[in-house]
Structure 1
Amino acid sequence: MGSIIALALAAKHSKSVKSITLVAPPYFPSKDGVEFTVMNRLTPKRLWPPHAFLSSIMAWYEHLGRCFCLLVCRNHRAWETLIKRLTGLRELNFMILDLMKHTHHSGWHTTHNVLYRGVKLMDQNLETLMKSRTKVHVVMGTKDKSVPPDCANNMKKKFPAVELNNIANAGHRSVVFRREKDFAEDLFKIWENAAASHHHES
């Protein structure tokens, strides 16, 4: 969802944005019914593995999702304590903590309103950025299981000016995590090139 929101903000303020870097954007060509295409591709109805099962509940079954959120979110401190005792860990991964703090609003409404409906506007927003000559960079892991790698490739096909950096053997999380230093260095290069290009055009 971060890429969809960032793209919308960049398009809204296109005159002020020199470059934008999208990490694993869930890009699907805008057309009728694209919301259901995204739901089926990103959150298919699956029983396994556990995270896929939870995602499918949150995407397809509102009442079950509401029950899950009430059970987990309202009692997240108790769950955190229980998990720490079971695992022997003093600190839990921030992603686990975030998951347990999701409310029904963030888990259901935000997903449907931003992710599934937001993809319809990605083409329009990209066209706006292309017209304003904003540099668009995409970073994608070749082994991403959350967002199909062909999303980035399809964006590149439709918008050839997009600069695509496929990271070999990286997944949805490891495209940033575990390679933080490389990712930061890539961002600095992108920003420096965007600033130099803007100065040259001026």
Structure 2
Amino acid sequence: MEFSVMCKTRHVLTLIGSVLNIVLSFIVFCFLDILDFVLCFVYKVLDFCIESEWKNPNSGSYSAATLDGSGKIIVSEQGETESEVVYLTSTKFQLEEISDTLYSRPSFVTEVSNQLKRLTFDTITITKSTEKKKPTRSTITINSTIVKLLQGRMIGQYLYPITRWSDCDCQFCNSWAYSTKRTLFVKSDGPKDQAKEDVVFIHGFVSSSAFWTETLFPNFSSKAKSIYRLLAVDLLGFGRSPKPNDSLYTLREHVDMIEKSVLEGYGVRSFHIVAHSLGCILALAIAVKHPESVKSLTLLAPPYYPVPKGESATQYVMRRVAPRRMWPPMAFCASVGGWYQYIARTVSLVLCKNHRLWDFLIKIITGNRIRTFLLEGFIRHTHIASWHTLHNVIFGTSGKLDRYLDVIRDRLSCDVTVFHGEDDEVIPLECSYNVQRRIPRARVKVVENKDHITIVVGRQKEFARELEEIWKKSTKN
């Protein structure tokens, strides 16, 4: 009897909590819609006054040819759901896909209204017409804007200086700008010339190579360090790597820079990959491009969301990652960072531009007793890098992951191991099982009482041993 009463009470409290979450979320995110709209024009005026450039905010719809705020030319094709970026290099034009979530993010009220309409239509039986429609032809509108923009790029007019006024201008964050080598920062450990195999470590979103070098590298056995060369990379736009403001931080750009800086830069031929969160997407893309070279694939909390038929892949994944809810807190943070460009830029202005102040305050408060490598990785990036990477890689590649996983299943023979924290509130556990459904040979290990970060931090010794066993087994095979 008491157990039944407790169950009913818990059910009622859960229902009340859900209703409160929905109501509060509606109020808060409606306010954030308005705030982001206002900040859009505030930053537009500030950019014009400080940098003498009147920039088109990319929170609304694009015209036939316009800028996304980083020097690239957006060309909208009539009859197509995606846009392409055209930009001029010294030798050729290049086309790159960008995520439509960069410029198509409906307000919270609009989204709720659309959901209500779907519910209404679901209750009505609609008879579809069998009449065949003529296919629409895709045409590109080219006007004088394109010509002017191309002329500006050809004579060397770049939209942004090396450092934007809202970005940090310290030597640590901009050391790459004074180097002739535009490659990623790579921290290596182990034998330099006589390594039998290499291991490439790819960190997650708003992080850095320190996620690996401060945790795992000191805990690998001396035997492992005599066999494997460990290579941890700072992704483009993060840590000590270049942070160009004329980059869109697409999947192709990230992968190309890893190939140039790590695989080619260190003469890597046969290698293992260890990747966390966002890095898992890059790891899959690299594995597909180098199927004969990858010895093993270890993924930690891979953000893989199978997209239902009829859904827009990018929009669906954006809503899964950033559901615009107040609770849990990680969902709220992801929602603010994913939906509101100018609120996110304000957060970046406060945290990233002033990271030296935060470093100093934390050292004073803690008496310099706590290692702050996680915080350093979190606040040492630019808003352009984090915003475009989130949309163009995490959201924008959602339609490609099925194909990547199928290629790894059918064409690669390497071991695939997936680790996921049981208490991970950033990437749900179901994502790892989704990978296993696509690649049946993949082994999923759920780590109890660990979340998105503590799956490594705090259990680095144990995880280092697990990785050594994976590499040893893969080498034997």
The TM tier, using the shorter chain, reads 0.7 to 0.9
Q: Secondary structure at the match of 2:453?
A: coil
In 2, distance between residues paired with 1:80 and 1:132?
44
After superposing the two structures, state which structure 1 stretch, 23-32 or 13-22, moved more: 23-32
Q: Within the alignment, does 1:19 sit opposite 2:296 as a pair?
A: yes
Q: In the alignment, which residue of structure 2 is the partner of 1:152?
A: 432
Residue by residue over 1:29-57, the C-alpha shift from the partner in whole angstroms, topping out at 9 and shown as x without a partner, is 25542323322222332446665544322
Q: In the alignment, which residue of structure 2 is the partner of 1:111?
A: 390
Cα drift, residue 94 of structure 1: 1.4
**Which residue of 392, 395, 399 maps to 1:120?**
399
Larger radius of gyration: 2
Greater strand content? 2
For the Cα contact (< 8 Å) 2:330–2:426, is it kept in 1?
Answer: no
Long gaps (5+) in structure 2:
1-277
Q: Within the alignment, does 1:93 sit opposite 2:372 as a pair?
A: yes
In 2, distance between residues paired with 1:83 and 1:124?
45
Residue by residue over 1:7-45, the C-alpha shift from the partner in whole angstroms, topping out at 9 and shown as x without a partner, is 111111111112110001011125542323322222332
**Which residue of 35, 45, 52 maps to 2:314?**
35
For the Cα contact (< 8 Å) 1:143–1:169, is it kept in 2?
Answer: yes
Q: In the alignment, which residue of structure 1 is the partner of 2:451?
A: 171
TM-score scaled by length of structure 2: 0.39
In 1, distance between residues paired with 2:279 and 2:326?
26
Q: Read off the aligned partner of 1:161 and give its amino acid letter.
A: R
**Which residue of 161, 183, 187 maps to 2:441?**
161
Q: Secondary structure at the match of 2:389?
A: helix
For the Cα contact (< 8 Å) 2:321–2:331, is it kept in 1?
Answer: no
Using the aligned pairs only, state the percent identity.
37
After superposing the two structures, state which structure 1 stretch, 154-163 or 138-147, moved more: 154-163
Long gaps (5+) in structure 1:
198-202
Q: In the alignment, which residue of structure 1 is the partner of 2:164?
A: none
Q: Secondary structure at the match of 1:120?
A: coil
For the Cα contact (< 8 Å) 1:17–1:134, is it kept in 2?
Answer: yes
Q: In the alignment, which residue of structure 2 is the partner of 1:200?
A: none
Q: Secondary structure at the match of 1:19?
A: strand
**Which residue of 452, 456, 468 maps to 1:188?**
468
In 2, distance between residues paired with 1:82 and 1:54?
23
Cα drift, residue 162 of structure 1: 1.2
Cα drift, residue 99 of structure 1: 2.0
For the Cα contact (< 8 Å) 1:10–1:129, is it kept in 2?
Answer: yes
Residue by residue over 1:95-133, the C-alpha shift from the partner in whole angstroms, topping out at 9 and shown as x without a partner, is 222222231112211111111112322221121122222
**Which residue of 400, 418, 421 maps to 1:141?**
421
Cα drift, residue 190 of structure 1: 1.0
For the Cα contact (< 8 Å) 2:307–2:317, is it kept in 1?
Answer: no
For the Cα contact (< 8 Å) 1:138–1:162, is it kept in 2?
Answer: yes
- Pair 28,50 (structure 1): closer, same or farther in 2 beyond 3 Å: closer
In 2, distance between residues paired with 1:65 and 1:76?
16
For the Cα contact (< 8 Å) 2:331–2:426, is it kept in 1?
Answer: no
Greater helix content? 1
Q: Read off the aligned partner of 2:324 and give its amino acid letter.
A: K
TM-score scaled by length of structure 1: 0.87
In 1, distance between residues paired with 2:339 and 2:412?
38
Cα drift, residue 141 of structure 1: 1.4
Q: Read off the aligned partner of 2:302 and give its amino acid letter.
A: P
In 2, distance between residues paired with 1:71 and 1:3?
29
Q: Within the alignment, does 1:78 sit opposite 2:357 as a pair?
A: yes
In 2, distance between residues paired with 1:40 and 1:29?
13
In 1, distance between residues paired with 2:331 and 2:306?
24
In 2, distance between residues paired with 1:61 and 1:136?
36
For the Cα contact (< 8 Å) 1:137–1:163, is it kept in 2?
Answer: yes
For the Cα contact (< 8 Å) 2:418–2:442, is it kept in 1?
Answer: yes
Q: In the alignment, which residue of structure 1 is the partner of 2:18?
A: none
Q: Secondary structure at the match of 1:21?
A: strand
